[in-house]
Amino acid sequence: MDVPVETLHEMFYQIVLARTLDERMWVLQRQGQVAFHISGMGQEGIQVGAAFAMDRERDFLFPYYRDHAFVLAWGMTPRELMLGLFARKGDPASGGRQMPAHYGHRRLRIVSQSSPVATQIPQAVGIALANELRGEDVVTIVCFGEGATSKGDFHEGLNFAAVHKAPVIFLCQNNQYAISMPQSKQMAIENVSDKAVGYGMPGVTVDGNDVVAVYKAVREAAERARSGGGPTLVEAKTYRIVPHSSDDDDRLYRSREEVERWKKKGPIIRFRKFLYENNLLDEESEARLQAQAIAEVDEATEFARQAPFPDLKNAIRPVYYGD
Amino acid sequence: MTLPNEDLLQIYEYMLLTRAVDDRIDLLFKQGKIEGVSFSSLGHEAIAVGAAWALGPDDVVAPLHRDLGAYLVRGITPRQVLAQFLGRRTALSRGRDGNTHGMGDLNLGILGYVSPLPDQLPLTLGAAMAFWVRQEPRVALAFFGDGSSSEGAAHETLNLASVLKAPAVFICENNQFAYSTPTKKQFAIENLADRAAGYGIPGVVVDGNDVLAVYDVVHKAVERARRGEGPTLIEAKTMRMRGHAAHDDAFYVPQELLAAWREKDPIRRFEAALRQQGLLSDELAEEIASRVAAAVDDATTFAEKSPFPEGREALEGVFCDV
Ligand SMILES: Cc1ncc(C[n+]2csc(CCOP(=O)(O)OP(=O)(O)O)c2C)c(N)n1
Ligand SMILES: Cc1ncc(C[n+]2csc(CCOP(=O)(O)OP(=O)(O)O)c2C)c(N)n1
Ligand SMILES: [Mg+2]
Ligand SMILES: [Mg+2]
């Protein structure tokens, strides 16, 4: 499967944009301008690769809180993400009333995230089956961490999807930690994808720092789902190079050397090298992309900073559809 | 693994006793003497008796609703069982709960049945970890069904138990149905034991109608757990030979399927093996059968003569300070 050059370029820009936005969010949080940030740094390769492998005009996305790059590549704008971060009225997920990174976007078929880990998994299976029952040619993709695999929701969702051959892709972004809990204390196995046999669906593990590998694996899973072949469990292995959130100090539970070692294997370094080696990128165009990303993020930051807060009277409404 | 002849005959007698008590429960239900639901263990005798036989006296077991045999092996008497099903004050739950709900007895190492399935699994894991914390060489064993396997609690327990290397054994009794749901609508795989690979623990499929095979795999799993090597997932394949409970005529179960499984009846099979080895003569079989029949008759009389609880007793002894 060859990836068109144009797609590679687009993917690279999305990764750079997501990283630039994420860095800015950290700065804003450290400056006290916003309350909280949960970062997706290091996972952009998985998210952008997967987003481009889907049909972003039709398919459904159940992201999780680290999926900044995913939702950007899916069609959300830096402005929309910043509105959420600043808790402004114009935030498409909740009108500024949810925690940041609880994405939801009706027009883009991004289904609003619930805070309890793994609840999005059975929800995604439900949407996938609903689309199937309606005869829609739609695939649903749902993201979660390796920590989420220990939840009953993961098990019930995967089992039900396999029995009913739901057109859904389970994308586990295995970043080796669930807050301070390393994978070795989360499960007694090496690969999350080995859980797939227990449900009767294919399971694959890919290098999550290799955007093209992720793109291909998710593409294959999407084709399977679209042609009636049922669900797939895709495990993309990476590393969380940042603390769990802006409230976490990861020096308490892991060494700096470990973090630095993984930073060197990050998706941007990797993808950049690939593009340069194949003469698909040069310094001039890279500088142009960087400048463009910074300009977009600057603009979005200013826009959100000046945007109005939600009205107090709307604090508890609307919550349900039709409110 | 060879068991002493004496054990083999005792196992046989417990299987017969399980079936005789179960038949009597069915009869009493049909006579209108049992209120509410009445679960049958018909067909499950080899699993329950074989597994319970593999436990040591200090181990604990959390039986499922078809594991009458495990209750009996651990020391619950037929009198206690029938008093329980008839809702009498002389029962373990003092007549305030029915069937296997309320037959737990911690003195015998039996964890009480928990109604929402399969919440006995996390409970059993808790018991196993208590043994581990206290450094006691004890093992906790839990049963769950093919239907129960789809619940989140099954997954959370198996995962945590394998990470913690808990001294626990989990037996899935795959009896082809969960109420009216056949296994093909329950999961998309052939063997539930294959899930063990996803937890990094051994998974074993065993013929649930072969009592010695059950004993053998459970014994190995129990000893492995006792050595600190962690849990095992065992799938015992069998067939639910009556409806889900006595009120259910199981019209959805194909007759041919039942007929095929009837051919594999665990008691007839074990009896044939014992006779073939010359361990069971006609006289001995007769003696055992009459002992079993007498025990069931005695238990019936005892239970029927026992008083019902008074209304005011309903709330007594529910919480430890009441
Ligand atoms: C049911 C539940 N338990 C705990 C939490 C708190 N919590 C939020 S994120 C998280 C870690 C999840 O780890 P993982 O699934 O590996 O995702 P990651 O954050 O590593 O991307 C926890 C424990 C929660 N939100 N929901
Ligand atoms: C959480 C929960 N849902 C539903 C029930 C009702 N219920 C009782 S037994 C049963 C069937 C369970 O099937 P399985 O686990 O295969 O055990 P079996 O009865 O076949 O031995 C159901 C649905 C329950 N007790 N708990
Ligand atoms: Mg994680
Ligand atoms: Mg069953």
Single-letter amino acid, residue A296: E
Range of the domain at A10: 5-306
- Ligand 2 atom closest to the CA of B145, numbered from 1: 15
Question: Average pLDDT for residues B296-319, to the nearest whole number?
Answer: 93
Spot the catalytic one: A24, A224, A244, A270.
A244
Average pLDDT, chain B: 96
For residue A314, what pLDDT is reported? 85
Residue A147 lies in a domain: yes
The stretch B300-322 carries a mean pLDDT of: 88
Give catalytic status of residue A244 as yes or no.
yes
A154 touches chain B (CB under 8 A): yes
Contact B155 A152 (CB under 8 A): yes
Q: Above 70 in pLDDT, residue A173? A: yes
Residues in chain A, overall count: 323
Q: Is the pLDDT of residue A139 over 80?
A: yes
| Residue of A55, A61, A65, A54 lying closest to A109 (CA atoms) | A61
The arithmetic mean of pLDDT across residues B238-263, rounded, is: 97
Q: Is B100 in the pocket of ligand 2 (CB under 6 A)?
A: no
Q: Is B257 on the interface with A (CB under 8 A)?
A: no
Q: Provide DSSP, A258-288.
A: HHHHHHTT-HHHHHHHHHHHTTS--HHHHHH
SS3 assignment, position A58: coil
- Output the pTM of the full model: 0.97
Is A150 close to B159, i.e. CB distance below 8 A? yes
- Is there a domain that residue A320 lies in? no
Q: How many domains does chain A have?
A: 1
Q: Do B151 and A156 touch (CB under 8 A)?
A: yes
* C-beta atoms of A197 and B194 within 8 A: yes
Instruction: Confirm whether A196 is domain-assigned.
Output: yes
Q: What per-residue confidence (pLDDT) applies to B314?
A: 86
Residues B183 and A163: beta-carbon distance below 8 Å: no
The residue type of B271 is E
**To probe the interface with B, which of A156, A159, A191 has the most B CB atoms within 10 Å?**
A159
A300: CATH: 3.40.50.970
Q: What's the pLDDT score for residue B321?
A: 67
Q: Is the Cβ pair B156, A186 closer than 8 Å?
A: no
pLDDT of residue A317: 80
Q: Is the dihedral of CA B233, B238, B241, B244 positive or negative?
A: positive
Q: Measured between alpha carbons, how far is A40 from A32 in angstroms, rounded to an integer?
A: 20
Q: Pick from B153, B165, B198: which is nearest to A195 by CB?
A: B198
DSSP B153-195: HHHHHHHHHHHHT-SEEEEEEE-SEETTEEGGGT-SSS-GGGG
* Integer CA distances (angstroms), A130 to A124, A125, A167, A286, in order: 10, 9, 10, 43
Examine the residue annotation and report whether A102 is marked as an active-site residue of this protein: no
Please report, rounded to a whole number, the percentage of residues in chain B having pLDDT higher than 70. Answer: 99
Residue A316 lies in a domain: no
- CA B203 → CA A30, B191, B224, B231, B234, distances in Å? 50, 10, 13, 9, 6
B-proximal residues of A, 204-263, CB under 8 Å: none
- pLDDT higher than 60, residue B322: no
Nearest to B146 by CA among B246, B249, B232, B64: B64
> Selecting from 3.40.980.10, 3.40.50.970, 3.40.50.150, 3.40.190.150, what CATH number does the domain B5-297 have?
3.40.50.970
| Beta strands at A177-178 and A181-182: parallel, antiparallel or unpaired | antiparallel
CA distance B243 to B177: 10
Closest residue, chain B, to A195 (C-alpha): B198
Judge whether A323 lies within some domain: no
Q: What mean pLDDT do residues B31-37 have?
A: 92
Q: Which amino acid residue places its CA nearest to atom 19 of ligand 2?
A: B178
Confidence category of residue A1, pLDDT binned at 50, 70, 90: low
Give the pocket of ligand 1 (CB within 6 Å).
A 66, 115-117, 144-148, 175, 177-179, 240, 244
Nearest-Cα residue of chain B relative to residue A122? B152
Question: What pLDDT score was predicted for residue A2?
Answer: 84
Burial class (CB in 10 A: 0-12, 13-18, 19+), B151: buried
> Quick check: is A313 in a domain?
no
Beta-ladder partners of A172: A144, A235
Any A CB within 8 A of B170 CB = no
The finding on whether B224 has its CB within 6 A of some atom of ligand 2 is no
Q: What is the ipTM of this complex?
A: 0.95
Please choose from A179, A180, A184, A253 the residue to mutate so as to test ligand 1's pocket, defined by most ligand atoms within 8 A of CB: A179
Look at residue A78 and tell me if it is in a domain: yes
Q: Verify whether residue A253 is a known catalytic residue.
A: yes
**Inter-chain CB proximity B153 and A152 less than 8 Å:** yes
Best CA proximity match to A190, nearest among A146, A154, A128: A146
d(CA A78, CA A301): 8
Q: Determine, yes or no, domain membership for A287.
A: yes
